[in-house]
């Protein structure tokens, strides 16, 4: 790799000292490195990165921040087929595997083409009110449907490929990718899944029943989550969250239809850890 672009979370690198050191190192070793020129959102669709600024022929996008920054970058650059390397400047990171102490050895691996690229499936969700599209978006980790405002018990109806699956009352539901199984779904009691798998994971949020568990479905499934009526048949107010960032309001009768995205996220891997090795290492950091 010889041509790089850097996306920086200014909250994690406020003085841009990490970004500057990376640019200087790469250029000193014969590479070119462009950076995002403005921190202002481009539009509602691209709030964190302007894909038009990314030079043609870029080999790798280096993302400085953490897992959240990397997920937002994956959304912004979807379809460009440029691999992302996450450098973790925060605390716990599963996607951003490189920490501050291993930045320059990792850059050496990129310059010497000593890496591998993993394909991570993403979700595409479309929120409907009757037949009107309210919002669409993608997610690398998950799409979460929960109450708008203060958490409270909701009525949730789930369908797979147009057929009724189940109903429960709870705080909401998480539909995640294998990558997202180490995120919110894990906190809600969902299983851990190897990120190279291709499947959907449905995990209820605090369901008020004893027989509701996570459900694993094939990646070619179409999942529909419909919002039921509120207490005493009032209008329920809910929200669909795409990777915890993009959101769309929902009400009683609205639904979100979730499929596999046409695009995968390409993740650069430097370490040759297995999923279990990475998991063991990250769990020991907590």
Q: Are residues 192 and 92 in the same domain?
A: no
Same domain, 134 and 240: yes
Kindly report the CATH number assigned to the domain that includes residue 76. Answer: 3.40.50.10330
> 43 and 97 share a domain?
yes
Q: The domain spanning residue 248 has which CATH number? A: 2.60.200.30
Catalytic residue among 13, 67, 171, 243: 67
Torsion of CA 208, 211, 212, 214, to 10 degrees: 150
- The domain total for the chain is 2
Q: Do 130 and 226 reside in the same domain of the chain?
A: yes
Q: Which residues span the domain enclosing 90?
A: 3-121+264-285
- Please give the pLDDT value at position 136: 92
247 and 135 in a single domain? The answer is: yes
Per-residue pLDDT of the chain (286 residues; tens, 9 = 90+): 999 999 999 899 999 999 999 999 999 999 999 997 766 666 666 666 888 889 999 999 999 998 888 999 999 998 899 999 999 997 666 788 898 989 999 999 999 999 999 999 999 999 999 999 999 999 999 999 999 877 789 999 999 999 999 998 999 999 999 999 988 999 899 999 988 899 999 999 988 877 678 999 999 999 999 999 988 889 999 999 999 888 999 999 999 999 999 999 999 998 766 566 666 665 665 4
Question: pTM of the entire structure?
Answer: 0.89
- Tell me: do 109 and 182 sit in the same domain: no
Residues 149 and 103 in one domain: no
Report how far apart, in Å, the C-alpha atoms of 74 and of each of 16, 17, 67, 256 are. Answer: 21, 23, 10, 21
131 and 117 fall within a common domain: no
Active site residue 67: yes
């Amino acid at each position: 790799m010889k041509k790089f672009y850097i996306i920086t979370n200014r909250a994690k690198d406020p003085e841009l000292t990490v970004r500057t050191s990376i640019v200087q190192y790469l250029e000193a070793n014969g590479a070119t490195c462009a950076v995002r020129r403005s921190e202002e959102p481009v539009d509602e669709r691209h709030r964190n990165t302007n894909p038009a600024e990314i030079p043609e022929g870029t080999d790798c996008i280096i993302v400085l921040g953490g897992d959240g920054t990397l997920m937002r970058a994956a959304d912004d650059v979807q379809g460009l087929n440029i691999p992302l390397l996450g450098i973790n400047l925060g605390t716990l990171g599963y996607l951003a595997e490189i920490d501050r102490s291993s930045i320059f050895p990792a850059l050496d691996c990129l310059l010497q083409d000593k890496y591998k690229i993993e394909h991570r499936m993403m979700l595409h969700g479309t929120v409907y009110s009757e037949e009107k599209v309210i919002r669409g978006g993608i997610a690398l980790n998950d799409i979460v449907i929960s109450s708008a405002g203060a958490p409270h018990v909701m009525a949730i109806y789930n369908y797979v490929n147009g057929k009724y699956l189940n109903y429960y009352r709870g705080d909401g539901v998480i539909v995640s990718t294998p990558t997202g199984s180490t995120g919110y779904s894990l906190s809600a009691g969902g299983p851990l899944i190897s990120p190279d798998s291709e499947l959907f994971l449905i995990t209820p949020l605090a369901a008020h029943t004893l027989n509701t568990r996570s459900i694993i479905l094939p990646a070619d499934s179409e999942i529909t989550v419909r919002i039921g009526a509120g207490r005493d048949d009032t209008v329920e107010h809910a929200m669909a969250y795409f990777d915890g960032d993009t959101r769309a309001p929902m009400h009683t009768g609205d639904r979100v239809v979730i499929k596999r995205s046409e695009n995968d996220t390409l993740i650069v891997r430097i370490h040759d850890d297995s999923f279990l090795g990475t998991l063991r290492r990250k769990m020991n950091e907590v």
